[in-house]
Amino acid sequence: MDRQVLHSGLTRAAVALAGGVAAMAGSYAVVGGSPAFVAAAIANTTVTLAPGFLVTFAITVLGDLGSKLAYWAGLATTAVALGLVVATARIAIRRLNRPLAAPLGVAVGVGLAAAALSGSAVSAVGAAVGAALVSTVVDLGRTDADAASGTTDGSRRAVLSGAVAVAFGLLALGGRQVLATDREDDEEQVPIPDDVAAMLEDARAKSFDVEFLEPLVSDQFYTVDIANVDPDPAREDWSVRIHGAVGEETTYTFEDIDAMDHEHRFETLRCVGESLNGRKMDTAVWTGVPLMNLLESADLQGEYVMLRAADGFYEEFPVDALETGFVAVGMNGRSLPREHGAPARALIPGHWGEINVKWLTEIEILDEPATGYWEKRGWHGTGPVNTVAKLWTENRLDDGRVEVAGPAYAGTRGIERVEVSVDGGSTWNDAQLSDPLPGDDVWRQWVYRYDPPDGAHEVVVRATDGLGTLQPEDEQRAYPSGPSGWVSKTVEPGSL
Ligand SMILES: Nc1nc2c(c(=O)[nH]1)N[C@H]1C(S)=C(S)[C@@H](COP(=O)(O)O)O[C@H]1N2
Ligand SMILES: [Mo]
């Protein structure tokens, strides 16, 4: 191929891609990482359309990296798609030979495409401005010499468009950051209610004084989402509809729920897809109303329930589990954070995390069993959690002893005992347990301190639940029914 043609083709592609990136940045600047972000639809589709085995592989093997990869793939696809729109608009408009035609054409083309992708006019305007900016600067950068010779310095224009896109992108990110910090500051101004503050203090007092051990109310609560960009429904627009096999269909707005009596509960969540000694298990103080208060007047006539959410997630389970369920609107004394399901989520005590549906929109009562989002993909994550004692922390104490510690959790069965072996499982010793927090579905901490043998040795931990059942030793991977087995770790006292 003619080098000149190849060269100008590459330049065009670079300008188009820079336009696509700037369009994304423009959209992000005005709507942030909300569902109206122009890349949200494509990023979320990658997960929804991916085959079940691939999603399972991503969750169990890649973990959080998997969802990051999916998000970046979504961003890249969006940049290329919008870049194609930029390129098409520029080629179509060039023939007009009017100075304002190119940016206007790009703005209209990208604006329409972005509106279709995001369903948001504001987001589309942001995208249009970004793409048009790149297009304009690149055309202004065409020097008189270029014009006179009829050629353009392709590399220079490619670099110029890239620089504009990057500069604009940084500006957009910076602007968002400032806005986000302002909002956090506002949130921190609101005092935590006294009764929640007392519960948080209780948890702090009952947490072991073990260095590097996460306290009984988690510092960092894990998140698991099917969407790369979470829903962000406004409170005023939110409602939950109770329908299906019911005598009386009802809908509650946020205001309705806000007006009801609120309770505060300690509750632990654990994801069925986590690794045996993983970190997708956490505890918070949740504020909300018992689900039964909402269902009272509905007259339930079916045996099963399907909870549905604003992100397209849905999970089914036996209706009995609703009896102790909760609709949470607050977490640790603040309003429920977006990533945990704002404005309202379900909490179903003792069950795996997945049926604790976030961004709850529907409670549908069913006559017949149905299949939930993860069950369609092969998981069995709607039942009670497995018993586990985790080994999260190993410390060397000043007196030479070794201190091992972690959380233990068995859902509503509770934890009665945790034993530790420091000789690979031959002999067992009772660990000390933290005083139980009030609540029917809360983890406890365990700690064990011992004089270590010389050199590396195998520490094994096992829990007994409140029914007196010892945690099974048999090791099972997370897929499909949640991890099980005794956690064990090689401890080398010399390296602690
Ligand atoms: N709407 C919705 N609810 C959801 C999910 C989701 O992707 N969408 N993930 C579920 C899973 S798999 C888990 S483990 C828990 C995690 O809750 P968290 O993100 O607040 O920790 O939420 C559950 N509820
Ligand atoms: Mo989960």
Distance 228 CA to ligand 1 centre (A): 12
Q: Where in the chain is the domain with CATH 2.60.40.650?
A: 388-495
Q: Which two tokens stand for residue 225?
A: 């989402």
pLDDT at 442: 98
The reply to whether ligand 1 has any atom less than 6 angstroms from the CB of 356 is: yes
> Given the DSSP bridges, would you call strands 360-366 and 239-244 parallel, antiparallel or unpaired?
parallel
Q: Chain-wide mean pLDDT for the chain?
A: 91
Question: Model confidence over 10-33: pLDDT tens digits?
Answer: 888 999 999 999 999 999 988 888
Tell me the CA–centroid distance for residue 374 and ligand 2, in Å.
Answer: 9
Q: How far are the Cα atoms of 18, 167, 169, 182, 333 from residue 25, in angstroms, in the given order?
A: 10, 10, 5, 20, 34
Task: List CB contacts of 339: < 8 A, sequence separation 6 or more.
Answer: 223, 225, 230
Select the highest-mean-pLDDT range: 27-41, 131-145, 259-273: 259-273
pLDDT at 429: 98
Q: How far apart are CA 205 and CA 462, in angstroms?
A: 25
Whose CA is closest to atom 15 on ligand 1? 353
pLDDT at 318: 97
pLDDT in tens, 245-279: 999 999 999 999 999 999 999 999 999 999 999 99
- 226 CA: nearest ligand 1 atom: 7
Q: Whose CA is nearest to atom 21 of ligand 1?
A: 223
The CATH 3.90.420.10 domain(s) of the chain lie at 196-377
- State which of 270, 316, 356 you would mutate to test the pocket of ligand 1, scoring each by most atoms of that ligand within 8 A of its C-beta: 356
Lowest mean per-residue pLDDT among 158-162, 306-310, 324-328, 344-348: 158-162
- Quote the tokens at residue 477: 């991977």
For the whole model, what pTM was predicted? 0.85
Q: What percent of the chain has pLDDT over 90?
A: 71
225 C-beta closer than 6 A to ligand 1: yes
Higher-pLDDT residue of 64 and 416 is 416
Q: What is the CATH number of domain 196-377?
A: 3.90.420.10
The residue with greater pLDDT, 95 or 18, is 18
Q: Give the pLDDT confidence of 367-418 residue by residue, as tens digits.
A: 999 999 999 999 999 999 999 999 999 999 999 999 999 999 999 999 999 9
Q: Which atom of ligand 1 lies closest to the CA of 224? A: 19
Average of per-residue pLDDT across 314-324: 97
Least Cα distance to 49 among 191, 217, 228, 263 occurs for: 228
Alpha-carbon distances of 420 from 161, 408, 469, rounded to whole Å: 62, 12, 16
* 186-190, 301-305, 436-440, 490-494, range with the lowest pLDDT: 186-190
Q: What is the pLDDT of residues 189-243, one digit of tens each?
A: 788 999 999 999 999 999 999 999 999 999 999 999 998 889 999 999 999 999 9
Nearest CA to ligand 1 atom 23: 354
Give the CATH class of 388-495.
mainly beta
Give the per-residue SS3 of 139-205. HHCCCHHHHHHCCCCHHHHHHHHHHHHHHHHHHHHHHHHHHHHHHHHHHHHCCCCHHHHHHHHHHHH
- Residue whose CB lies within 8 A of the most ligand 1 atoms, among 55, 60, 220, 224, for a mutation test: 224
Distance 271 CA to ligand 2 centre (A): 4
State the ligand closest to the CA atom of 344: 1
Amino acid 150: pLDDT: 46
Judge whether 32 and 135 are in contact, CB under 8 Å. Answer: no
Does residue 269 have its Cβ closer than 6 Å to ligand 1?
yes
Nearest CA to ligand 1 atom 20: 340
Which amino acid, residue 373? Y
Residue 58 has pLDDT above 80, yes or no: no
Q: What is the DSSP letter of 435?
A: P
